[in-house]
Chain A
């Protein structure tokens, strides 16, 4: 029985998404502590599922495409700190689409018939972003 190693570049994805979640934590304008707890729980669940499924559908077993999320995380933090851009969703969405685009190109390069796997990967990416937006909407955040 072979032991599956956790792809190390997925850790980059986990860290970047945690930064996004941490930034979103300050945008929520709820006074109740339970809302923050729900936010943390939902977002951690979302993070785990997103990283897990996106890594599973990637062609590269080392999941190097997660590296592309770094510039978007840095850009989001930079704009937040320097220009007070309190927005997260565009950075996160486009960052995840960048990850998808890169890994889709890898899939296209390695697979003979890549359509099915690319659609599956796209569905996972778009689905995770939609869930993210829904969680934010539940928390009263639209940006």
Chain B
């Protein structure tokens, strides 16, 4: 299909919050028109909730909503089968089956580009295979693809560095407390789904630290105390951030943001909470689902911040 100008839909959900810049730069360099769905809204959430099976977790339901929004507006949907993005680690079973799940749910369903991305054996080679496979489906090959890949990687690295420096640490009060907020990127950075909790906490007058502010080495280092290697990429990131924040004296409390029905988080969160309790660091677990009310959430956050402030000034 060389020469055809594809209109490619990329849902703004799940791993868009990690690799969105990579994908966008890659496809645009190949000369495709990329349509990213708008930020999550009530309409999109409701669409997703009505399409997905009830037991799926909230972020997956939201993904369904974004895909449904795009399905009538594009030639093809980009839903990669993300098996693994690093050595010997997985994402989550639901992401391994996502393209098939969407095919069943979306009627009519546009063409889905579902190249498998599996870097668990050999990251370099795995990535190359995945990129080639995506490009082949779109009708591209050869040096053009390699050039686009290089450009995408450059864009991605720049974005990553910016995200690392992007700290919400400007305190709004005289003696701000420091709170570490951990959770998956698609909850922390999706302002509707995750209720914009990092900014909310900042507005309550505290400095906020996020997992993305840590380097990979810091996360790896913190995870060494675990009894067994965590084989979920995001679980490892969450756990590493919790352990890092726990050890630091400058962090006063930790908030763990999770979505109802998240499998890995049910284990990682439990361990994190137990470790935090043992070392006496205040720990708040916020579990979001489609019924979570904003008022109730605000009250919990205020109470937590108040408690930390009193604890620190005492």
Q: Do A and B make up one complex? A: no
